[in-house]
Structure formats: C-alpha cells, structure tokens
Amino acid sequence: MAARALGKPCATDDFAAIARACAAGRDDLASRGMAEDGGRRLRMFSTWEITRYLIPVAPGHFRRVMKQNPDLPQGRSETEGGAKWFTLDEVLRLRAHFGAEGSKAKSYLPYRPKGLPAKMVAVANFKGGVGKTSTAAHLAMSAALDGYKVLVIDLDSQGSMTSIFGGQVADEWQTVFPLLARHHARHLQAENQRRMDRGENPQPLDDTLSEALDVTANQLIQKTHWPNIDLIGAQLNLYWAEFQIPVWRMQGRGWKLWDALTDSLSADGVLRDYDLVFLDTPPALGYLTINGLAAADILLVPLGASFLEFDSTGRFFDMLHATFGSIEEAETMTARALGREGLAFQWDAVRALITRYDGGQQAELAALMQSYLGPTLSPHRQGFTALIGQAGEQVQGIYEADYRDFNRETYARGRETFDETWAAVKSLILGAWRRDEAEAAEIEAEGAAPGAAAQ
C-alpha cells in the first residue's frame, strides 16, 4: 500500500507539468479580482468611508458642500435615496477642493515639502512568510488613500507584489534590470573615456548594455487600477540579475552597484514625480536587496512574534552590518588613498514591525522582543483578522475589500490594524521630511550669511 501511495518517480520534466498546473490555478484565482474585460478595477467608496477615513469632515457638512458645488463629483447611488458612492479619482478631486476651500485648521492634503525628493521605503527580511509583501502593498494603498502619488517597485522575482497590483511583465526588460544595466553601461562609458584619454583601447559594451542605454524608468512604469499608484513589476527572469551583476562587477571594479537604483530613478525624474516609493525586496540578501536597501530612506523589517523569526531577524541585521560594513570599508580605503571622504550609508529610520500578531498567544513574547529591541521595534502590533484572510482569498488588499461583504463594524476593526501601521510609518516619513527641511533651511541660511560668498 505504501508503494502504491508513493506513485512513480518524479523526473525533471514533471516539474514543468506542476508549474503549468500552478499557473492555471493562479490565473483562475487572479481572475476573481478582475472585471469582465480582464482588467483590475478598484471598488468605489461610500460617503461613510470618505468622511470616516479619507476626508476629515462631518457627513452632514460633506453633503452640504456637495449640494453647494454641483460641479464637484456628486457620486452615484445604487438605489433611489441610497448611499452615494465615489471612485478614488473623484475622492482625490474632493480632497483637493476641501484642501483649497475647507477649514485651514484641518489637514486635507498630504504633506510633501517642496523641492525635496520622494521618500523611499524598503520592506525587507530574508525570512519568507513574515508578511513582507502584504505589508508593503498595504502601506502603498494607505499612502494612496491619503492622497500621495505612489510608485511601487517589485524587486522580488516571485512577482507577488506585481500580482497584487495586476501588473503584466513579459520578461526582465520590463523590470528594474535595464536600469541596473544602464547604470553599469554608463560607468563603462566613463571608464572608456578615461582609457582613450590615456591612449588605451576602450572596452566594448555588449548587446545587453548597449540596449539598456536607451531604457528609462518611465518606459518601465505601469499604471495600476489605483489612480495614484504606479508599478515597476517583476517576474522570474529578474533573478538573472543576481548572476549578471557579479559579472559586471568583474568588468568594472569601480562600479558602485549599490547606487544603481537610486541614481537611475533620480536621473529619470522619478524621485521628483512621485511622493513615495515602496520597494518590495526578495527574501534573501542578494544584489537586488542590497540595491533596494541602499536606495531606501526608511527600512522596515516585518517579523512574527516567535522565537524562530526573532532569531532569524537578528541574523538578518547581523548580515546587514557585515555586508554594508564591508562595502564602506573597501570604499573608504580607496577614497582616502585619493584624498576623498569615505562612504557611510545612512537611513532616516529603521524599524522592525511585528505582523500577524495574536495578542492572546503572543503578548509575552512580543513584550520580551520589545525589551531587547527598544525603539527599533515599533510598539504597534499588526494583527491578523478574518478580513485580512478573506481579502487574500480574493487576491486583493484589505482596502480593496467592500465593507458591505462584512458587518460594518467588523470591517472597521479589521482595517484598524493596517491604519495604525500606516500611521506609525507615516510619522517616520513626515519626521524625515521635516528634518530634511530644517537642514536645507540651515544650509540656505549659512549661504546667505554675510561673508559666506567670500569664504
């Protein structure tokens, strides 16, 4: 009986059959969140949701403003005299109206200081199953509901974030891969110019690098079913970068690969055009993760309240120290030999975040983790609720779930944990922007001081 249950041996070709079965099932599940034309559609938002979560006004005042301004979106009712529902595009228009005409004592518009670049938030941990992609996706959605213009970058070749936002990625040329290749190609071009200045022969660029020189970030960015969330997606071929980058490093040892993503996004105006960029990294400390972490202003590390995840996260931070420390040491030695300043990585904030929290079972361990990690561990615990589970089954975020599928207060309790997560992260973002503003003002003041020009 055991031999019959075992079945026939599995050969390499059988993996392809299993993969095809998974692909068919994945397409079936993904289609549940799609409209009849095969595209994703973001649900509409009711007056109750708008006034409770999105625009801080009383429902009665909201309705009066609508009546007084017939040119504003008026929403639509599914039944005569029923609740009014609005698209997110319409909500953003309403938010802009209240920002311009509403009470000056209230903050209707999202804060973004003028002249400063977007803040980049990386979500990382090399242990899988800690809620990394889910956390990054819900933070992006939260920011979008606040009115921010958001770019999501999927650095994980598994492409889970891409699936959440309905992205279509044919190959690695629609991922960040060509941006990394372009950065290396420009480094080689600069090196070749120096070679020719010395009378040496230039190093030829291969077809991949030559083609990448013509690719910009805007060519890779996809619109999503969220009007203010765009995406640079990922798929399996992106993993090729983990093999290609070491080859490029051998070709040009002076290439600063950790700057590749930041420099490319900055050069293409992405950090000017977006307010926030969320980076979903692979569950490994490879070259793609290093690029994402080096690019980030804020690093979030999700983990569960368990011994194994606490232990693994400690090892993750140990590897971060070793990896970035070795880069700094090597670069600083080279810089000092040339009489320049050394390299020092810096992040505005680093926070660990407990996810999938069960207060009845994990409170003691979470408190112990807090006592050891102190302020590095966010005091907010992201709980797991039935709402989260049901949203996952429908291939959507909890903010995409229609509260009419639940008891209204059940819905309110279910989304509360993600609202609080966003509030904690938003506080870090705003604090970092405020600090940047103060530093910029101080530099400007020093430059304007009498005698500064002479100095």
Give 378-387 pLDDT, tens digit per residue. Answer: 998 988 766 6
pLDDT at 81 over 60: yes
What is the predicted pLDDT for the residue at 409? 80
159 Ramachandran zone, left/alpha/beta (phi>0; psi -120 to 50):
left
Q: CB atoms < 10 A from the CB of 299, how many?
A: 21
**Token pair for residue 28?**
């079936």
What is the predicted pLDDT for the residue at 182? 98
pLDDT at 213 over 70: yes
pLDDT at 25 over 80: no
pLDDT band at 450 (very low <50, low <70, confident <90, very high): low
Rg (CA), the chain: 25
What is the predicted pLDDT for the residue at 38? 57
pLDDT at 155 over 60: yes
What is the predicted pLDDT for the residue at 15? 67
Q: For residue range 261-304, what is the model confidence (pLDDT) as tens digits?
A: 999 999 999 999 999 999 999 988 899 999 999 999 999 999 99
Distance, CA of 220 to CA of 176 (rounded, Å): 8
Q: How many residues belong to the chain?
A: 455
Distance, CA of 198 to CA of 106 (rounded, Å): 63
- Tell me what the pLDDT averaged over the chain comes to: 88
Q: What is the mean pLDDT of residues 344-349?
A: 94
Q: Which residues pair with 230 in a beta bridge?
A: 151, 223
What is the predicted pLDDT for the residue at 192? 92
What is the predicted pLDDT for the residue at 21? 73
Distance, CA of 403 to CA of 406 (rounded, Å): 5
- Phi and psi (nearest 5°) for 237? -65, -15
Distance, CA of 208 to CA of 414 (rounded, Å): 47
pLDDT band at 260 (very low <50, low <70, confident <90, very high): very high
Residue 234: name the closest of 273, 178, 293 by CA. Answer: 178
pLDDT at 148 over 50: yes
pLDDT band at 104 (very low <50, low <70, confident <90, very high): confident
Torsion of CA 60, 64, 70, 75, to 10 degrees: 0
What is the predicted pLDDT for the residue at 154? 98
Residue 417: name the closest of 351, 350, 349, 356 by CA. Answer: 356
pLDDT band at 78 (very low <50, low <70, confident <90, very high): confident
pLDDT at 151 over 50: yes
Distance, CA of 310 to CA of 292 (rounded, Å): 22
Please identify which residue in the block is written with the tokens 């880069």.
327
Q: What is the mean pLDDT of residues 22-48?
A: 70
What is the predicted pLDDT for the residue at 26? 58
Report the percent of the chain where pLDDT is more than 90: 66
How far is C-alpha 239 from the chain's CA centre? 18
What is the predicted pLDDT for the residue at 18? 66
pLDDT band at 29 (very low <50, low <70, confident <90, very high): low
What is the predicted pLDDT for the residue at 16? 72
Burial of 334 (0-12, 13-18, 19+ CB in 10 A): middle
Collapsing DSSP to helix, strand or coil, 376 comes out as helix
One-letter identity of residue 184: H
Q: For residue range 112-138, what is the model confidence (pLDDT) as tens digits?
A: 999 999 999 999 998 777 788 989 999
Q: CB atoms < 10 A from the CB of 254, how many?
A: 11
Collapsing DSSP to helix, strand or coil, 283 comes out as coil
pLDDT at 344 over 60: yes
pLDDT band at 455 (very low <50, low <70, confident <90, very high): very low
- Phi and psi (nearest 5°) for 284? -165, 150
> Which residues have C-beta within 8 Å of that of residue 153, sequence separation ≥ 6?
176, 231, 232, 277, 278, 279, 280, 292
One-letter identity of residue 209: L
**Quick one: DSSP state of residue 431?**
H
Distance, CA of 92 to CA of 306 (rounded, Å): 40
What is the predicted pLDDT for the residue at 103? 84
pLDDT band at 417 (very low <50, low <70, confident <90, very high): confident
pLDDT at 372 over 50: yes
pLDDT at 402 over 80: yes
Distance, CA of 23 to CA of 19 (rounded, Å): 6
Burial of 362 (0-12, 13-18, 19+ CB in 10 A): middle
Q: What is the mean pLDDT of residues 175-198?
A: 95
Which comes out higher in pLDDT, residue 238 or 455?
238
pLDDT at 60 over 90: yes
